Amino acid sequence: MKQRLFIIIVLNIFLINGLFSQYEFGIEIGTNYSKYNGDGYFTGWGLLPAHWESHPQLGGSTNLTFNHSFTQRFSYYLELGYHTYNNTSTIGNGSSYITWYEDGDYSMQYASFSIQPRIKLFKNYDIGFFTGISIQYLIHAKFNGALITRYYPLTVTLETFKYRDITTFREGGYLYSLLGFDYRYPINERFKITLDAMLFTTINKSPYKARSDLSETYLRNKGGSILVGLSYTLGNKEN
């Protein structure tokens, strides 16, 4: 009985896919606004707590998109993206008496791959709801600010940095969860203007090492983005 039910479901999926199949390729460009936060440890004078305080700034995102609609309402997106996340942050390490911290602007660039199932909400308007996951890996990171130490009550700036490459201080990548809405406005039978608005948050934590190996902070990132683009439809068929 279960085998028959499974076969019927599979056949229905293939029949529906044969009745309607539409493919879209597109490009999207937009902005993001995100905030890093995290906690860790500092090993300079024993195992002491470390904390990342962040103030979000605007960044940028670019996506190459592929969409396959296998029914009138259901589809999925595959996306390749490049993202820049900017923050003004302070990483504090140590105790209330002896502290090292980095204070300045951080810019981090990531490459991403996303998969997003989508449902069309209205029959006459191509407004959709989507959710999914995104795998992002660090390409480059830089820091523009200062390394500061505080021996209570004195504060001393040890070193200033201008666009210091900190790529090697980051490890691994992020797994993001995505949630958003989009709108597809048809220009003609083939081209559409696209508008996406989404929220994102990291599922895992990624380590950042400040001041060589004396501190390690485990970071999360969350925020939102708005993107505008253009898509082209291929292989549209309706029977």
Q: Is 237 exposed, middle or buried (0-12, 13-18, 19+ CB in 10 A)?
A: exposed
Q: pLDDT 10s per residue in the chain (239 long)?
A: 545 544 554 445 444 444 557 889 999 999 999 988 877 766 655 556 667 777 888 999 999 999 998 888 899 999 999 999 998 876 665 555 556 667 788 888 999 999 999 999 998 889 999 999 999 988 888 888 877 766 655 555 555 666 677 766 666 678 899 999 999 999 998 999 999 999 999 988 777 765 545 566 777 889 999 999 999 998 654 44
Extents of the domains making up the chain: 2-238
Q: Minimal CA–CA distance to 224: which of 173, 174, 175, 180?
A: 180
Kindly state the tokens that stand for 159: 């070193």
Domain 2-238 belongs in CATH node 2.40.160.20: yes
Residue whose tokens read 């992002």:
136
- In this predicted structure, what is the pLDDT of residue 156? 58
- In this predicted structure, what is the pLDDT of residue 113? 95
- In this predicted structure, what is the pLDDT of residue 144? 84
Dist CA 107 CA 128 (whole Å): 32
- In this predicted structure, what is the pLDDT of residue 120? 92
- In this predicted structure, what is the pLDDT of residue 44? 56
